[in-house]
Structure 1
Amino acid sequence: MIASQIDDLQLAHPVMEDAWVTPLAGLGALREQEPMARHTTLGVGGPARWFFRPADRAALSSAVVLCPEDIPILPLGRGSNMLVPDFGINALVVDLSELNALHVEGCLVHAEAGVRMSRLARQCAEHGLSGCEFMATVPGDVGGGVAMNAGCFSQQVSDVLTHIEVMLRSGEVIEIDAETLDMGYRHTVLPAQSLVINACFELHPDHPDQIRERMRTMRSRRSATQPLAQPNCGSVFKNPEGDHAARLIEAAGLKGFAIGGARISAQHANFIVNEGEASSADIVALIDRAQRVVKEKFEIELETEVRMVGEWL
């Protein structure tokens, strides 16, 4: 969880706020009280105290140094696996979409944090490199994919990741080998409050047409089984060992169940969709209902895959 101190920080440190926020405006796009509903694939979430899109890596380094230590820094990713409270978050949300350089050296592919994983998959196919086809169906960026060890179709980022670069709160950039990240199912251990800024993947040669065909097959399977036409955050729950969250939720009789403007998808029970007017509270209520009913019926505790950022009351 990202700690939040709603409004208290502003009242306690008004001079400090001007001292560090004002210089950020020259380093990229900076907005105050930015609605996070504009930046999450679920289309929900209250305002971020500050929202910053650095122009480049140097700007990001300056920003993290300027940001007071008691203000959390939250990387946005593409907002595809994020649930923000309706009352918002008191944090510096950082959009790294401008850090989007990608280059290939033999079988090694270097991608900055803001590179979309779907773009990475396409570029690798163009170069005849196989191993990240599954990323073509993941609606996120490289930074978020590394932080979550994103995956599908029995593959995950850790299968092909060799090392990453992260930026610490001090602005220092360090390189970390993938084998030391303790990467597991939708889990990566990163230094506290660090930001993934670059990742290196080792792939293997294959014919571009065969790679593209595998990508097309994966996309078709996703389109046929998941509610991609409606706002969602991807899989809400992690799959319990030896089972599937969707099967358990459906067996519990909750497929299609709705609270407010949010609904457990009738197409895939491990997805919650925003039918147009959902609030974060509606979605959390559905999460709580699914966890409670599955626990009552099957003695299995569903663990969330979606990141619930901020302070939830």
Structure 2
Amino acid sequence: MSWPDLVARHGLDRIGLRGRLTPNQPLSAVTWFRVGGPAQLMFQPADTDDLALFLKALPPEVPVLPVGLGSNLLVRDGGIEGVVVRLAAKGFGSVEIEENGAIRAGAAVPDKRLAEAAAEAGQGGFAFYAGIPGGIGGALRMNAGAHGSETADVMVELTGVTRAGEIVQLTRQDMAYRYRHSEQPGDTIFTQALFRGEPREREAIRQEMAEVNAHREAAQPIREKTGGSTFKNPPGHSAWKLVDAAGCRGLQIGGARMSDMHCNFMINTGEATGRDLELLGETVRARVLETSGIALEWEIKRLGVWAEGQDVEPFLGKRIAEAASDG
């Protein structure tokens, strides 16, 4: 599928941008699942000011979607209409330790790198990031966490750019964090954040990070094409236990499979399409609903449009209606 050219239509090549504009950029190359159609336009800004300039010039009716490292994204096969903003390491990948021990990190910094920088600075509270395969921008958006800790524990304030091109400063309170969620509008793009932990011995921090990494390597299919945890843990339950009890460990549709190692992870076995993965996920949700009465919520972000005639109904449509009527 090829989208109409937004650059020519809106004169975006004539406003003095310093970043990179790429029409019809395939997104399979930038997601860990390695699936998905093209973005109508991808913009990689040079810095925060460049991003603000772009958003001010872009007509408000054009949708904008920020995409980070692509570790927890499932892009549908029809691609994404509008603009995908991807922050590159060159402009948004710095990590700085301030005099008071606080850490300032760009949104393109991998979570693991922030954990390493904090350990080197003797700042505790960041070890959980060592096991999260994402970037700081996504962590700020979804309050990423693991092992009993989360982003809200260490984030102090952040810088973002609104859809109207206004640069804003937001505090932890402004984000109204809760489990894997924040209340900020999805079209505000976070560019950097200030974090603060607690002074701690470097060796103790590194030992904690080693334990996090050892657990991840032993329990998760980290060498596969995967998007991390597929479903959120419902209150009082573990998603993987519900998936397992529904008989979905190793379940495969097309090239998509629920991992035999950790059944809350979907993997692309090599030839999966975006539809294969989403159909597998909705099949699992339907079976869990039937066996437990619990409606799992996606943790992976599903974006874009389906290829023609390839849509997938939530819970496979008919099944959720049947389950609701039975209840």
TM-score bracket relative to the smaller structure: over 0.9
Pairs within 5 Å for 1:164-179? 164-179=158-173
Match of 1:101 in 2: 94
Q: Pick one of 26, 29, 35 that aligns with 2:26.
A: 35
Pairs within 5 Å for 1:258-273? 258-273=252-267
Match of 1:310 in 2: 304
Q: Pick one of 211, 222, 231 that aligns with 1:228.
A: 222
> What secondary structure is seen at the aligned counterpart in 2 of 1:37?
coil
Match of 2:57 in 1: 66
TM-score (norm 1): 0.92
Q: Share of identical aligned residues, percent?
A: 35
> What secondary structure is seen at the aligned counterpart in 2 of 1:268?
coil
> What secondary structure is seen at the aligned counterpart in 2 of 1:213?
helix
Q: Pick one of 263, 281, 291 that aligns with 2:285.
A: 291
Q: Which amino acid aligns with 1:250?
A: D
Question: Residues 220-248 of structure 1: CA distance to partner in whole angstroms, max 9, x if unpaired?
Answer: 10000000010100001000111111011
> What secondary structure is seen at the aligned counterpart in 2 of 1:38?
coil
> What secondary structure is seen at the aligned counterpart in 1 of 2:203?
helix
Match of 1:81 in 2: 72
Pairs within 5 Å for 1:166-245? 166-245=160-239
> What secondary structure is seen at the aligned counterpart in 1 of 2:228?
coil
Match of 2:40 in 1: 49
Match of 1:3 in 2: none
In 2 relative to 1, CA 237–25 (structure 1 residues): closer, same or farther, beyond 3 Å? farther
1:16, distance to aligned residue in structure 2 (A): 7.8
CA contact (8 A) 2:78 2:305 kept: no
CA contact (8 A) 1:236 1:272 kept: yes
Give, in whole Å, the separation in 2 of the partners of 1:260 and 1:30.
Answer: 34
Q: Which amino acid aligns with 1:296?
A: E
Q: Which amino acid aligns with 1:82?
A: L
Question: Residues 93-138 of structure 1: CA distance to partner in whole angstroms, max 9, x if unpaired?
Answer: 1111231122122231111211111111101111111111111111
Q: Which amino acid aligns with 2:11?
A: W
1:163, distance to aligned residue in structure 2 (A): 1.4
1:25, distance to aligned residue in structure 2 (A): 8.3
In 2 relative to 1, CA 111–243 (structure 1 residues): closer, same or farther, beyond 3 Å? same
CA contact (8 A) 1:81 1:307 kept: yes
Establish whether residue 126 from structure 1 lines up as the match of residue 117 from structure 2.
no
In 2 relative to 1, CA 101–24 (structure 1 residues): closer, same or farther, beyond 3 Å? farther
CA contact (8 A) 1:47 1:87 kept: yes
Give, in whole Å, the separation in 2 of the partners of 1:132 and 1:280.
Answer: 33
CA contact (8 A) 2:101 2:121 kept: no
> What secondary structure is seen at the aligned counterpart in 2 of 1:233?
strand
Give, in whole Å, the separation in 1 of the partners of 2:279 and 2:231.
Answer: 14
Give, in whole Å, the separation in 2 of the partners of 1:16 and 1:31.
Answer: 9
Q: Please provide the CA RMSD for this pair.
A: 1.7
1:280, distance to aligned residue in structure 2 (A): 0.5
Give, in whole Å, the separation in 2 of the partners of 1:236 and 1:25.
Answer: 41
Pairs within 5 Å for 1:131-142? 131-142=125-136
CA contact (8 A) 1:20 1:66 kept: no
Give, in whole Å, the separation in 2 of the partners of 1:186 and 1:270.
Answer: 16
Q: Which amino acid aligns with 1:197?
A: T
In 2 relative to 1, CA 249–122 (structure 1 residues): closer, same or farther, beyond 3 Å? same
In 2 relative to 1, CA 253–24 (structure 1 residues): closer, same or farther, beyond 3 Å? farther
Match of 1:117 in 2: 111
Give, in whole Å, the separation in 1 of the partners of 2:50 and 2:217.
Answer: 38
Unaligned runs of 5+ in 2: 312-327
Match of 2:316 in 1: none
Give, in whole Å, the separation in 1 of the partners of 2:60 and 2:8.
Answer: 12
Q: Pick one of 272, 275, 288 that aligns with 1:278.
A: 272
Give, in whole Å, the separation in 2 of the partners of 1:24 and 1:229.
Answer: 42
Q: Pick one of 138, 156, 163 that aligns with 2:157.
A: 163
Q: Which amino acid aligns with 1:214?
A: E
1:179, distance to aligned residue in structure 2 (A): 1.6
1:24, distance to aligned residue in structure 2 (A): 6.9
In 2 relative to 1, CA 161–26 (structure 1 residues): closer, same or farther, beyond 3 Å? closer
